[in-house]
Chains A and B, each alone.
Chain A
Amino acid sequence: MTGPRMRLQGRRAAAMERARQRLTVIAVLFGGVFVLMAARTVELGLFQSISEPRRDLVQTDGVRVSRADIVDRNGVVLATNLQTQSLYADPARVLDPLDAARKLTKVLPGLSEAALLEKLGGDRRFVWVKRKLSPRQVWEVNALGLPGLAFQQEEERVYPQGRLAAHVIGFADPDGRGLAGVEHSFDLRLSDVSRVDTPLRLSLDVRVQHALSDELDRAIRTYKAKAGAGLIMDVQSGELLALSSLPDFDPNHAGAVTADALFNRASQGVYELGSAFKTFTIAMALEAGVVDLTSRYDAREPLRVARFTIRDDHPQKRMLSVPEIYVHSSNIGAAQIAQDVGSDVQREFLRQLGLLRPANLELSEVGQPLVPDRWRDIATMTIAYGHGIAVSPVQLASALATMVNGGYLVPATLIGHSAGDVPKRPRIISNETSEKIRKLMRLVVKKGTASKADVPGYLVGGKTGTAEKARAGGYAEKALLSSFAGVFPIDKPRFLVFVLLDEPQGTRQTANFAGGGWTAAPTVANVILRTAPILGVEPKQEKEDLYRQAAYHIEDTRRHP
């Protein structure tokens, strides 16, 4: 420090001194805080150990789809949502519409160049080019390097099983709304955001469904039928393991599906199913005590009631016992049994079985049964053998399952009940009546019209139905609705297989017969053969004495087919 120092006067020197002190204080304060923060930073950076990552900082919920999956009873995926890219364009940004249209139609199949050119040349700001592209197509469009195009991520509903169970699953429109089947009837549940992660579990089994569809398709081709329907039901719980209606459609390409293919013949179609109703006639007669297995009826001549004549398809022209009426499918006998039981009892019995109102199935495609509004005597007699009333196959299956499972009502269901949630099941017929019906069903297959349904080892029982289709002004001669309902194994029934063929024609192998025992019964036999191992039914020996009691009342006058 050289040179003269300025010595400040007294008062200003004091002010300066005060200012200097204040600055020092502030500086020390700032310095202190700064040192504190520096020390804290060092501490955080060097000495802090991270024990657990903070969960709220990381968001990995997984994929968020907008619609729940549909799976079968074993977890096989039936419908799922996958992410796809959809291509759109901003025509204002497209530099050369002609070039762009040409290149795009080369890369994306199914686009018309003229329509695309019009879209790209217009003055809208947003046009779809093509929705739901595959990853390869996305790559190729990107490789074109055209301006004005962009992708939007969309979800596509994919049905990996193709045509299988198409009527049950249904399909959804491109915006994810269900239009048919389970997709439609459970639309709210499937698009419920809080339940999107839980798949909807159906009672179907795809392996069994395929076996049924395959055999039904083969039968339709073999007998040149117009259409067919089939179902497999668990008789103890009412769960539908398979539901098939042909012709069917591919839900992946449901745009151009015809109304005929969409029609669910198993649940929505109502038909006069014919002789299967004799099961109910005899069951109600046995239950009411009006007949027993030894009662006999006169079937020597056709019955004449008012202006109608009731004939047998396989006329035996003799007195028939009740088992024989069932086994030989005698309309005359059945009509007389129903007369003895009475209209009121018959109507109440069928009502309890659920045959007079639509099936309580979880689909919206459920048909309303056709029932006579005035249940006159003639109606009672024709309904006894299945004409004059039209029900859907699902209703018939539920009612037949009730007959054989010990007598309690099992409504058909596609969802299946969880283990603890067993609904109340009213008892319709007694255990003894159910046992008698089972024996009669076994005899139909062993000695009666359904001998072609027998599969050795699986104790198949059932009832054929051959109904002439009603045409305008009476019944058509050759147009038949052939059906067979098979239950196996008949001593402890577990499953019911029902097959219906619409207008089958006889072949050389069937000696030109096209009835239920010739066309539907062998189809059911093939289905049972294929599905019994999957369903866990073991082949076993039959105990002959189980049927002796009923068989004694059947004269063995049948001619071997």
Chain B
Amino acid sequence: MRQLLIVGIAMLVLLSAAGLYGLKHKVQTKREAVLALEEKILADAEALRVLQAEWAYLSSPAVIQDRTVRYLRLRPLAPDQIIGDLGGLPYRLDPFVVSALPNDDIRPVPSPRAKPSAPVRDALALSSNTVEEIRKGDRLAVLPVSKAVSADKGTKGEFAARMERALERVGGR
């Protein structure tokens, strides 16, 4: 009986010791994992700051201007290209009117109402810098002006004349 008791107590001691150390080991592992995560968070936060600085550099106006000039055909904006008052826009042509037009190759292309204005006066002498070359060019790079619509010649092109006649027939304008 006594031996059984001793054996029992010994077993209890061993089991609880094992359990205790197991628990301690688990806690230690978790703590190490937490520390590792903290370090990773710190490293990521620092990486974020570096990336923000890099983003600030890559989106800085000087870099963007340099790349625009080299890879894009965009030109500086002129005031007459900015529509400030949306209420002043003309209405679209009625699609029913358009589909009743006789000829297939007449499509309503918004023709300029006024002569394309000259580029905003650029009084400076221009060197061979690329940006300045682009500034020299015309500003209305929005629509390719077809040969038929020769508004600047003063005479109506054939296309415009046909368009006007068709619209007269249908009664719109």
Report the number of A-B residue pairs with Cβ-Cβ less than 8 Å. 131
Q: Is the CB of A219 within 8 A of B76?
A: no
Q: Is the CB of B84 within 8 A of A41?
A: no
Q: Is the CB of B23 within 8 A of A44?
A: yes
Question: B7: CB under 8 A from chain A?
Answer: no
Please indicate the chain B residues that have their CB under 8 angstroms from the CB of A522 in the complex.
121-124
Q: Is the CB of A452 within 8 A of B123?
A: yes
Q: Is the CB of A82 within 8 A of B53?
A: yes
Most chain B CB neighbours (cut-off 10 Å) among A77, A221, A458, A510: A77
- In the bound complex, what is the Cα–Cα distance between A63 and B39 (angstroms)? 10
Q: Which stretch in A103-111, A282-290, A527-535 binds the other chain?
A: A527-535
Given A80-B52, A508-B125, A164 and B60 contact (CB-CB distance below 8 Å) = yes
- In the bound complex, what is the Cα–Cα distance between A18 and B74 (angstroms)? 107
Please indicate the chain A residues that have their CB under 8 angstroms from the CB of B141 in the complex.
none
Question: A210: CB under 8 A from chain B?
Answer: yes
Given A38-B12, A210-B65, A532-B79, A158 and B53 contact (CB-CB distance below 8 Å) = yes
CB distance from B95 to the nearest CB of A (A): 31
Question: A457: CB under 8 A from chain B?
Answer: yes
Given A522-B122, A529-B78, A540-B85, 5 additional A-B pairs, CB 8 A:
A45-B19, A160-B56, A206-B60, A214-B65, A522-B123
Partner of A218, one of B13, B46, B60, B124: B124
Q: Is the CB of A164 within 8 A of B79?
A: no
Q: Is the CB of A456 within 8 A of B80?
A: yes
Nearest residue (CB) in B for A208 is B61
- In the bound complex, what is the Cα–Cα distance between A456 and B57 (angstroms)? 34
Nearest residue (CB) in B for A30 is B9
Nearest residue (CB) in A for B123 is A522
**Selected A-B contacts with CB under 8 Å, 13 pairs:** A38-B12, A45-B19, A80-B53, A160-B54, A160-B56, A162-B60, A164-B60, A164-B61, A210-B61, A456-B80, A457-B82, A522-B124, A529-B79
Q: Is the CB of B9 within 8 A of A31?
A: yes
Question: A343: CB under 8 A from chain B?
Answer: no
Question: A479: CB under 8 A from chain B?
Answer: no
Please indicate the chain B residues that have their CB under 8 angstroms from the CB of A206 in the complex.
60-61
Question: A83: CB under 8 A from chain B?
Answer: yes
- In the bound complex, what is the Cα–Cα distance between A122 and B156 (angstroms)? 90
Residues of chain B in range 48-107 having any CB-CB distance to chain A below 8 Å:
49-50, 52-54, 56-57, 59-62, 65, 76-80, 82, 84-85
CB distance from B17 to the nearest CB of A (A): 9
Question: A258: CB under 8 A from chain B?
Answer: no
Instruction: Give the bracket for the number of chain A residues in contact with chain B.
Output: 35 or more
Residues of chain A in range 526-546 having any CB-CB distance to chain B below 8 Å:
526, 529-530, 532-533, 538-540
Question: A59: CB under 8 A from chain B?
Answer: yes
- In the bound complex, what is the Cα–Cα distance between A455 and B124 (angstroms)? 15
Please indicate the chain B residues that have their CB under 8 angstroms from the CB of A525 in the complex.
120-121
CB distance from A269 to the nearest CB of B (A): 24
CB distance from A201 to the nearest CB of B (A): 15
Nearest residue (CB) in A for B12 is A38
Binary contact readout B21-46 vs A (1 if CB under 8 angstroms, 0 otherwise): 00100000000001000100110011
Question: A222: CB under 8 A from chain B?
Answer: yes
Nearest residue (CB) in A for B15 is A38
Given A80-B53, A540-B84, A509 and B16 contact (CB-CB distance below 8 Å) = no
Partner of B45, one of A62, A81, A222, A530: A62
Q: Is the CB of B122 within 8 A of A526?
A: yes
Question: B3: CB under 8 A from chain A?
Answer: no
Given A34-B13, A41-B19, A507 and B125 contact (CB-CB distance below 8 Å) = yes
Given A58-B38, A160-B57, A539 and B123 contact (CB-CB distance below 8 Å) = no
- In the bound complex, what is the Cα–Cα distance between A539 and B88 (angstroms)? 13
Q: Is the CB of A456 within 8 A of B123?
A: no
Q: Is the CB of B56 within 8 A of A455?
A: no
- In the bound complex, what is the Cα–Cα distance between A184 and B105 (angstroms)? 69
Please indicate the chain B residues that have their CB under 8 angstroms from the CB of A518 in the complex.
123
Q: Is the CB of A161 within 8 A of B56?
A: yes
Given A45-B23, A218-B124, A539 and B82 contact (CB-CB distance below 8 Å) = yes
Q: Is the CB of A456 within 8 A of B56?
A: no
Question: B158: CB under 8 A from chain A?
Answer: no
Question: B170: CB under 8 A from chain A?
Answer: no
Binary contact readout A53-71 vs B (1 if CB under 8 angstroms, 0 otherwise): 0000111101101000000
Question: A303: CB under 8 A from chain B?
Answer: no
Partner of B76, one of A37, A44, A221, A529: A529
